[in-house]
Amino acid sequence: MLNGLTNFEIMDYLNRNGEDNNNGTKLNITVLSNVTLELNLTPALKYLGLKDNFNTCISYATYDGVIQECLSENSNLINPSVDLILICLYLPNLSNKLMQYELLDQAQIDTIFVDILSYYKAIISGIRSKTNTPVVYLSFDTPVYPNINISRKYIFDENMFISQLNHEIEQLTYELNNIFRIDMNLLVQRVGYSVFFDRRLWHIANAPYSNIAIREIASESYKYVSALKGKVKKCLVLDCDNVLWGGIVGEDGMTGISLSSKYPGSQYYEFQSEVIKLQKNGIIIALCSKNNEQDVLHILDHHPDSLIRREHVTTYQINWDDKATNIKKIAGELNIGLDSIVFIDDNPFEIQLVESMIPEITTIQFDQSKPCQYKDLLLSCGYFNITSLTDEDKKRGEMYREEKARKEYLSNVLDINNYLETLELTATLEYVNEYNLTRIAQLTQKTNQFNLTTVRYTEDQIKHIWKDDNADCITLSLKDRFGDLGIVGVCIVKHYPHYTDIDTLLLSCRSLGRQTEEVLLYMAVMLAKDRGSRRIVGCYIETDKNQQVKNFYDKHGFKVIYEAELVQLSLCELDQVNIRIPDFYVCNMPLEKGANL
């Protein structure tokens, strides 16, 4: 994510684009560390946040005050307004005695182990007593040169000690939601041990990590921000020639291209393997290639070493039109935002054309002379990270292909109502439960277009709503004659004396155009009536992507009672409400809430 960037380039970008993005969404990050990080970590995180239109504010505990901050009842750094807490503790600062292990007996070493683990427990419990904010912590790195006794039989095994400590901390946090671990050894391996640490600054300024290391820490930490805040990409659009295989299929033919499990074709083979992994994790794969369509499809269908087959590709534009136009067609067909797409090509002309015509697109340019780098470039980009995997994710490609069949069917129907009536739509509504919890959180984090408030919830926060007697959380699953779309809608209502507030009402973009929102709003009204409310209130918070629902409540008989620049609050008297489920729906209503608890 910060690959190859220098501190100068980061600062130059911040200066040119405004370090404090006052028009962006507020992003509050708290850093708990016992070493000096601020000088390089702050601009790196601000750079990454600015790229995603965040106004990023980073606050630091003093490096000798981490535990005090966690245990304080009135901490300004640890509270529900914080979006992410990053823990970066350097082991030598936790116990100087470990530096003198040759003077310690086993009992003393065991005491140090317990003390460090207890310290970590106090930090985690202190944080969780105040907030359910997501926590990302860095494990302790194991030294490359642990001790001089290569037999490692008769003296303290430093690597074993640290590995066991990391394991115990991982076990401590495993059962807790919203706590994520970054393996520090992986970061060291990526950067290289010799350049990861700055021994001179460690002694001078309590700053053990180099500039390069801190940029790597920032990149890895920010992956959790993008995943939890719905900033991950949904679709990978790939060129074919010199990307999926070496050579040009129109000139070299199927037998002439480079693609096999042996060198040189193995470079493309391993890249295709990583693309397949993305597809199985719910990323939509599309092709955009200047080629004869049948030439490309023949490779997918018949090449013995092509791992990517036609069933892995959700859609494609293989023709001689410009790629910017073709990518727009792909986005339109999939009904996703252009900023949800990553485009990979080896041709700098095509990359520059797409960037100039569609600035929202994220592009990655491959160097066709170095196909051995393709796999690592894809893995290191950080655009497709997820914190959970649902059944809907695994079936996403299949669902979009079913949607394509629906659209083809629609093209032969003149009347939209007749089309909807023949779709055989079935909506199933369920209360939040252990099986749909992850999907609910995921939808709140990723849904942008049909989302009235765009409130982002973690799984832990959804659990609290589940347990709240004054709140209801409902999911909507959808099926039709073409297939099962899975859970596509979420409605969260919160009940107060005399009125009910629609906290969240959202629909996945792939379910739009079926009047599914009528079913979801009807359910919100029924939940309010069941609680004896006299009024129901709905809020619309405008974003760059949800303007299509600005008048949603107005169209359903709600009256605006408050309006500001980006916020609109609407109210409807329940004895005057006239919202009904469309006749072409079969609805399976939820069990009693208690049945799912």
Residues 470-493: tens digit of each pLDDT: 999 999 999 998 889 899 999 999
Other residues' Cβ atoms within 10 Å of the Cβ of residue 309: 13
pLDDT in tens, 272-325: 999 999 999 989 999 999 999 999 999 999 999 999 999 999 999 999 999 999
Residue 442's alpha-carbon distances to 116, 284, 341, 391, 511, in angstroms, are 34, 16, 18, 12, 16
**Which of 99-108, 223-232, 414-423 has the least mean pLDDT?**
99-108
> Which residue is associated with the tokens 């999911």?
475
CATH 3.40.50.150 for the 235-380 domain, yes or no: no
Fold of the domain spanning 7-228: Rossmann fold (3.40.50)
pLDDT at 147: 66
Q: Residue 594: is its pLDDT beyond 50? A: no
Q: Residue 494: is its pLDDT beyond 70? A: yes
Tokens at 224, concatenated: 């959790």
Other residues' Cβ atoms within 10 Å of the Cβ of residue 342: 20
The two beta strands, 315-319 and 284-290, are parallel
DSSP bridge partners of 501:
494, 537
37 contacts 60 by C-beta, under 8 angstroms: yes
Residue 90's alpha-carbon distances to 35, 117, 122, in angstroms, are 7, 14, 17
pLDDT in tens, 330-378: 999 888 889 999 999 999 999 999 999 999 999 999 999 999 999 999 9
399 contacts 486 by C-beta, under 8 angstroms: yes
Greatest mean pLDDT among 49-53, 59-63, 107-111, 166-170: 166-170
Express as a percent the part of the chain with pLDDT over 90: 69
pLDDT band of 155, cuts 50, 70, 90: low
- Which residue type sits at 433? N
pLDDT at 387: 78
Tokens at 296, concatenated: 């490309």
Torsions phi, psi for 25 (to 5 deg): -70, 135
Q: Residue 390: is its pLDDT beyond 80? A: no
Residue with the larger pLDDT of the pair 586 and 154: 586
**Can 7-228 and 421-596 be said to share one CATH topology?**
no
User: Angle of helix 396-410 relative to helix 323-334, nearest 10 degrees?
Assistant: 90
pLDDT at 577: 86
What's the chain's length in residues? Answer: 597
Fold of the domain spanning 421-596: Aminopeptidase (3.40.630)
pLDDT band of 14, cuts 50, 70, 90: confident
DSSP 34: S
Residue with the larger pLDDT of the pair 383 and 591: 383
pLDDT at 595: 40
Where exactly are the structural domains of the chain?
A: 7-228, 235-380, 421-596
pLDDT at 287: 98
Residue 228's alpha-carbon distances to 15, 444, 500, in angstroms, are 27, 9, 27
Q: Residue 149: is its pLDDT beyond 60? A: no
pLDDT at 596: 36
Mean pLDDT of 111-124: 93
Greatest mean pLDDT among 46-55, 222-231, 369-378, 440-449: 369-378
Residue with the larger pLDDT of the pair 556 and 418: 556
> Which residue is associated with the tokens 């765009």?
454
Q: Residue 555: is its pLDDT beyond 50? A: yes
Mean pLDDT of the chain: 90
Q: Which of 125, 118, 115 is nearest to 70 (CA)?
A: 125
583 contacts 519 by C-beta, under 8 angstroms: no
**Rounded CA separation 566/557 (Å):** 21
539 contacts 558 by C-beta, under 8 angstroms: no
Q: What residues contact 170, with CB distance under 8 A and at least 6 apart?
A: 139, 181
